[in-house]
Amino acid sequence: MTTEEVAGTGAAEAEALVRRLTRGGLYVKTGLLLLPRLWVGREKEVAARLNLGHLDYQSWRVAQLRPGERLLRYSADRLIAELDAICTARHEAQHLLVSNLDLPVAALSGEERRKFWTFLHSAFTKRPRALLAAFPEAAEELLPWDTDLAQWKDQGRVSTWNL
């Protein structure tokens, strides 16, 4: 997926996406921010530029492990429940950019992945904060499928970071 194929590119479009998610009026306040290779690993900086808090999902998840637990078992339901817990927990920032979701999403089967994206797009309602999920631009196989991704784009809920 090239930058030209994605609805909204650059910092201005990413800022517009954040405004759309955070100003109210949306029933589901979730969006996707695609990061070019040079920005992967710099999500905290991107979040700061967008005036969002940052949460590294993998670091958060590892901190949740019980003593002796070594495996991070992923399912769509578990990932959704964990994102819900993240959204309802106290944070310094009102709204969050969540990074490193690509690893657990990659662990989901095709149907589990579709269930996750469908819920995040349409049913992740009434959360106290907006959630912007950062994904590597090159990880297109992890994103919602074509028609589902088209809905995200049509609603202006996808942008590519391109400074």
Could you report the per-residue pLDDT of 16-72, keeping only the tens digit for each? Answer: 889 888 887 778 888 999 999 999 999 999 999 999 999 999 999 888 888 877 777
Query: Is this model's pTM higher than 0.85 or not?
Result: yes
Q: What tokens does 15 get?
A: 């800022």
Contact (CB, 8 A) for 32 and 135:
yes
What is the bridge-based pairing of β-strands 96-99 and 30-35? unpaired
Architecture of domain 17-160: 3-Layer(aba) Sandwich (3.40)
* Domain locations along the chain: 17-160
